[in-house]
């Protein structure tokens, strides 16, 4: 734990988070901590091509390096190794450890290498931090922050005070611009709340069925109507290959007299992510889009399984506490992934109150 220098110096740091979109978004608080620790820090990230567009939007990142992945051929791996050697990095921080990255880090000669002490690949690192993430004792973004702070201590840099959300701060007029764009494109009403609903799963997350989402929307509408408040306009979003899911849900909602609009696919991941800034509320399973919304500090509603490694605590969004709701099956459910055990009446009551409060406040509050 002895610092390298008596006086802190700016350092070139390479951070690896080369898995899925949601995992990468939950690394932004750690990236913010590293960037804010010293004005001279240069933060590079190693990410797959899929998440690179958002990495280029991140205010805490100076350089994006593409990872060819485990399937990359020998030439691609050699090019990556050469890039790592030429980067003059003082430190390598691997937030998710794999043997290939550990081996490349060791061969690159980066003098300080730190990773979680949870896989055999830890042998390639000078410093290992025991975390036991599968126990889900804290949010994933906090585990990432713990690793970043451990690295800063070893670099002799002060650990900055916790940065308050949003971890993706947008210009003041970006929300207004995104809302105007969607209003013009889809002929939307702006007097009512816009509840974005993302029913896709990204191929990994456990999510509600279309029937459940339709029932939830209907219950929210009914509760707000009973309270003499305006029901929201439901905007159905989708990821690549999920258009049929979103359009099917849109039809279910309109058939039950909910006001719903299908949002056509955006022009790439960055365009999609920025469009979420228009939302008054974002509802989804524990997917990448939910965590984009969290980084934007949007009000979010997440649906999670009760599985120990996938709980609402472990995959908590990194927005402010008062901006998030989370629901999962009861602990005594026959299956920890049986989402049918979620009480939609309870969820609808909390969501309708959430929307009513949000409508009474300015978005920036």
3-state secondary structure 160-206: CCCCCCCCCCCCCCHHHHHHHHHHHHHCCCCCCCEEEEECCCCCCCC
- With 0-12 / 13-18 / 19 or more C-beta atoms within 10 angstroms meaning exposed / middle / buried, residue 228 is exposed
Number of C-alpha atoms within 13 angstroms, CB side, residue 149? 12
pLDDT tens digits in sequence order for the chain, 365 residues long: 344 445 679 999 999 999 999 999 999 999 999 999 999 999 999 999 999 999 999 999 999 999 999 999 999 999 999 999 999 999 999 998 899 999 999 999 999 999 998 777 889 999 998 988 888 899 999 999 999 999 999 999 999 998 899 999 999 899 999 999 999 999 999 999 999 999 998 766 789 999 999 999 999 999 999 999 999 999 999 999 999 999 999 999 999 999 999 999 999 999 999 999 999 999 999 999 999 999 999 999 999 998 888 889 999 999 999 999 999 998 775 677 899 999 999 999 999 999 988 766 644 44
What three-state secondary structure class fits 1? coil
Question: Do 297 and 328 meet the contact criterion of CB atoms below 8 Å apart?
Answer: no
Report cis status (omega within 30 of 0) of the bond before 166.
Answer: yes
Sheet holding 281-285, edge to edge: 260-262, 233-237, 194-198, 281-285, 300-303, 324-327
Region of residue 187 (left: phi > 0; alpha: psi -120 to 50; beta: else): left
At residue 325, φ and ψ (nearest 5 deg) are -125, 150
Question: Do 298 and 193 meet the contact criterion of CB atoms below 8 Å apart?
Answer: no
Question: Do 276 and 282 meet the contact criterion of CB atoms below 8 Å apart?
Answer: yes
Query: Model-level pTM?
Result: 0.94
At residue 281, φ and ψ (nearest 5 deg) are -155, 140
What three-state secondary structure class fits 134? helix
Q: Among 156, 18, 34, which residue's Cα sits nearest to residue 94?
A: 18
How many residues are there in the chain?
365
What three-state secondary structure class fits 220? helix
C-alpha–C-alpha distance, residues 123 and 345, integer Å = 50
At residue 66, φ and ψ (nearest 5 deg) are -85, 135
- With 0-12 / 13-18 / 19 or more C-beta atoms within 10 angstroms meaning exposed / middle / buried, residue 203 is exposed
Q: Tokens representing 107?
A: 């061969």
What three-state secondary structure class fits 102? helix
């Amino acid at each position: 734990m002895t610092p390298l220098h008596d006086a802190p110096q700016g350092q070139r740091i390479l951070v690896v988070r080369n898995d899925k979109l949601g995992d990468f978004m939950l690394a932004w608080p750690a990236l913010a901590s590293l960037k804010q620790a010293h004005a001279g820090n240069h933060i590079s990230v190693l990410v797959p091509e899929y998440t690179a567009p958002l990495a280029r939007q991140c205010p805490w990142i100076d350089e994006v390096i593409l990872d060819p992945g485990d399937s990359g051929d020998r030439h691609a791996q050699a090019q990556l190794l050469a890039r790592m050697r030429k980067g003059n990095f003082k430190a390598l921080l691997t937030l998710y450890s794999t043997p290939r990255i550990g081996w490349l880090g060791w061969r690159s000669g980066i003098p300080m290498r730190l990773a979680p002490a949870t896989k055999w690949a830890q042998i390639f690192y000078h410093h290992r931090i025991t975390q036991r993430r599968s126990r889900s004792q804290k949010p994933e973004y906090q585990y990432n922050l713990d690793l970043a702070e451990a690295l800063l201590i070893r670099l002799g840099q002060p650990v900055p005070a916790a940065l308050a959300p949003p971890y993706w701060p947008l210009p003041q007029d970006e929300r207004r611009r995104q809302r105007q764009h969607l209003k013009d494109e889809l002929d939307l009403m702006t007097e009512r709340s816009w509840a974005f609903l993302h029913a896709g799963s990204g191929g990994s997350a456990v999510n509600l069925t279309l029937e459940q989402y339709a029932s939830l929307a209907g219950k929210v509408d009914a509760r707000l109507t009973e309270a003499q408040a305006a029901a929201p306009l439901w905007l159905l979003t989708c990821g690549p290959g999920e258009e049929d899911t979103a359009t099917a849900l849109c039809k279910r909602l309109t058939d039950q007299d909910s006001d719903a609009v299908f949002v056509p696919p955006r022009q790439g991941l960055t365009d999609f992510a920025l469009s979420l800034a228009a939302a008054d509320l974002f509802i989804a399973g524990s997917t990448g889009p939910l965590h984009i919304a969290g980084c934007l500090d949007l009000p979010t509603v997440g649906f999670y399984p009760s599985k120990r490694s996938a709980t609402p605590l472990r995959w908590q969004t990194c927005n402010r506490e008062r901006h998030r709701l989370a629901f999962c099956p009861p602990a005594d459910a026959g299956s920890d992934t049986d989402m049918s055990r979620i009480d939609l009446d309870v969820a609808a009551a909390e969501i309708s109150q959430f929307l009513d409060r949000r409508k009474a406040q300015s978005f920036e509050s």
